[in-house]
Structure 1
């Protein structure tokens, strides 16, 4: 589904054969079937007139970009050489001639409104591209299913300004301390997928609290803190436990101090 504005939008049926393309001009209250007769897999409209649809042909494994300049009344088709089945198409803001396309296997760029495409070579052999987003005329983001985000500040082909961004994990994690065994100091890492109030405490083998390492509100992200055996008088060699607690998560791990 793709909406050009609050009233004009398009969507195609999923799971039916043949799939049909529909258009609304009243914000989705009513939908009218268009004359598009091919298999739509990805659709993107730049404005009320100009749009692209990516269509695979399952009979012979060819793929096409279908282009309209009159709001879907007529379409022209171009055979393309993408290797995957396609995940997203995105226009560069302010310039409908520049278009990006991604699938699980590659990233492609068109400078002629989708007629011809050039593959953009990235260092990642397993790209797994999922979504493309442009926040302004130059800044674009490629979100991948392999846990990476790529960023570009250059919308021309032959991109060199692609950077891999670190992605915050989708789950809580308390990592094993290192080194372990330790003396006199060890490092503890943990990960928060959401902002939360956090406590990280150390206990001895009998459950007595030794010290509190963290006791404050933290934003989502990855954190690291050090535990020193000199932090508490009388601490001796033996097994200790550290516990991470948030609003909806608790995990405990064991560490060994050898003096």
Structure 2
């Protein structure tokens, strides 16, 4: 986890492992299983996230003209955050489309800063995350390992200019496509606020918001354990219960508040009273959403 998100604190790691675990036993934490079985892939995969311009909405422009001998000419800024389970992720790549009449005689490099003190400019105490030399075409900051949370953190893109730069040179940056932003390992942002800037897109925007869903259990038929996956569109109370063909409740697998995101829970016969082979139904209720699916127990 630290290899892709070195900023993680002990409390971050504990939160991620707990909220991405496969639930087992009684709903929530229980004396036997704790928070459940650790899911390594889920724990190291970033949740979906939201980008906002530094000025709000899709307005990310700080300046598009240069100045001579500026070590950090602020161009654009973004705020990144997530409300999706487990509310901790790691940004991997940021690719900005660019049009400019400047050349390498005017710009030495483009640099990406974390605006740590949140004053919307690059100043003492801010941290340079990556620097790429000037080149025509997209500006790509890759192999980033930048932590994002449920509270917004600000990124600022700057140009490091030469003494030959002047206000007659302009740089227009664009972020028009969710494929231009990737968190570990392949997570794309919500398409909220896109596009940023006016530079042409470099791909297709295929990301969609979370939806409520309930998947078919696997394996099915099963004995003695089966896995049920479900998704929650927004935070709220979620229940997931198992019933026999007579409508009698056999087990409560989930009963608690959940953040938006994807979840997994195991139905294990060891955690229930002795039940016979046959057809059973599991039902999820979350807000106004409800769904039922059938599963078969074969002993």
Instruction: Bin the TM-score by the shorter chain.
Output: 0.3 to 0.5
Q: Please, what TM-score do these two structures have when normalized by structure 1?
A: 0.46
Structure (1 or 2) with the greater helix fraction? 2
Q: Please, what TM-score do these two structures have when normalized by structure 2?
A: 0.41
Structure (1 or 2) with the greater strand fraction? 1
